[in-house]
Structure 1
């Protein structure tokens, strides 16, 4: 007789630990355990002589034939299987060409994805779109702002209607929110973007109309130089500036609250200079962050949202530099 040893208890699942122990106790307390396995004896009823071959058995080799000797037995060659283009299957489909207009669209645009996961062609196309939109926004803003220096009637009108400044301010915020909401809906996103850019350009033209044209030109050149330098640095460095986002967000709100409170106190040139310097540092850092977001984290269809982010960084950096130069000039 063979006695099977009791199996070692094993924990199958942590969530069923108690249930497992209960079943294990029932199993071990069973009077039929351990199981008695009867022994078996193998007996053979086949005679050894059954497997012996007769010595008088003769074998003749089977006839062999070569398949190459009977090629002439086929009356004709096998048919050629070549698909001919029909009404439902055109020549482009047989040659592996695109079957529809969507086949020409890369898979990253079909299924979506961030810029860092896209191919190099899609990544470069996205960057070109972002900076093309940004260039158009900056050109429109520069054209409307320069009008305040070339047209005295326009300058007198915008300075005499101060209420339009608040309309443009809140209108730009509204159009910006609409643009972010419809940032993937073409051409609705472009319409909202145009409204946002026009109102923002009007606000900038009102501000620069109170400054000397020489100071404005110096601020433009300094802003352009800083933007190019920061963009190249953000693209070349391996450091991830996107980790600065929470700190920059908190610093920006602290700057806004400080500016709001300073409006209720008498003007102080040193406080304004410090305020403008801190603002220039914050928005310079935002250019680094937003540039890396464009290269790595934005969706491939969010070029308008990326352009707006850079546009706001450049405009706020320009205004901060403009105030610094004006304080130094005074």
Structure 2
């Protein structure tokens, strides 16, 4: 496949020209050719920006609904829960499949409709794991965690769209915090009988980090993403929401046990 770059190769006064994409969208998009390549959403016409944002949040809504429905099915019957817990191999398959589908989806992010098929597989694998994680938690706690997560997400999204402060510059510090969180989580694996206070601090830090990630990834959508990056943008927000939900669930569940 030949590369196509409609921009000149010289570097104008505004800065270096972004490199051309090496893979074109194969079918099914309605983005004008003049805007398909090396064009940030922020540089496009208002209609094109709105079209991109609608695509991202429509896909994200479908992912969230699919995750909720899968979790509800697993929780709906004790026999289904018993089967899932007695066939732990399926959980392992979903974990491996989630990584595999994630990599494949990002690799084929601009190949329609392959990208949507792979995105569906990724969402299904993630939803199964989330369903098992919430199966042993009281329904009231799960519903409360879901409501808080959606409320926080909507509030942070509105804030990210309205504020003029650039949170993208925070990404380096947030990534460092995420690695600290991962290391702390490994310690919990070796010392499962930790204090509830340590669990509360860990969960609170995790909720804070992924709240900031929601703002960062939302601002990327309106500032740095390209018009055909709706799949990577959707995945980023979906993972932010899922992780925020899990940490809020841990906070509420820990509080309920105490």
TM-score normalised by structure 1 residue count:
0.67
| 2:81 pairs with 1:155 | yes
Q: Does 1:133 align with 2:44?
A: no
After TM superposition, which residue ranges in structure 1, 4 or more long, deviate above 6 angstroms? none
Do 1:108 and 1:118's aligned partners in 2 also have CA atoms closer than 8 Å? no
Distance 1:169 1:224 in 2: 24
Q: Which residue in the other structure is 2:190 paired with?
A: 264
Shift of 1:267: 1.8
Query: What is aligned with 2:23?
Result: none
- The answer to whether residue 224 in structure 2 is matched with residue 297 in structure 1 is yes
C-alpha distance in structure 1 between counterparts of 2:112 and 2:246, whole Å: 32
Aligned to 2:151: 225
1:316 aligns with 2:243: yes
Distance 1:213 1:110 in 2: 46
3-state SS, counterpart of residue 109 of structure 2: coil
Among 168, 172, 192, which residue is 1:246 paired with? 172
Q: Distance in 2 between matches of 1:125 and 1:199?
A: 28
Distance 1:111 1:321 in 2: 39
| SS in structure 2 at match of 1:189 | helix
Shift of 1:166: 2.5
CA pair 117-165 structure 1, distance change in 2 beyond 3 A:
same
Q: Secondary structure at the match of 2:190?
A: coil
Deviations 1:137-184 (A, max 9, x none): 000000000112212221111122233322211210111011111100
CA distances 1:78-100 after superposition (whole Å, capped 9, x unpaired): xxxxxxxxxxxxxxxxxxxxxxx
Task: Say whether residues 1:114 and 2:40 are aligned partners.
Answer: yes
The alpha-carbon distance between structure 1 residues 205 and 184, as it changes in their structure 2 partners (threshold 3 A), is same
CA–CA distance in structure 2, aligned partners of residues 219 and 105 of structure 1? 38
Shift in alpha-carbon separation, 1:108–1:248, aligned structure 2, 3 A: farther
* Alignment root-mean-square deviation, CA: 1.3
Per the alignment, do residues 153 and 120 of structure 1 end up closer, same or farther by CA in structure 2, a change over 3 Å counting? same
Does the 8 A contact of 2:104 with 2:118 survive in 1? yes
After superposition, residues 1-330 of structure 1 pair within 5 angstroms as: 106-268=32-194, 269-330=196-257
TM-score, with structure 2 as normaliser: 0.85
**Quick check: 2:71–2:130 contact (8 Å CA) kept in 1?**
yes
Q: Which has the higher contact order (CA 8 A, sep 6+)?
A: 2
Aligned residue-pair number: 227
- Paired with 1:150 and 1:217, the residues of 2 have a C-alpha distance of 14
The structure with the largest helix share of the pair is 2
State the Cα distance separating 1:110 from its structure 2 match.
Answer: 4.2
Structure 1: state its 5+ residue gaps.
Answer: 1-103
Q: 1:118 to 1:219 in 2, by over 3 A?
A: same
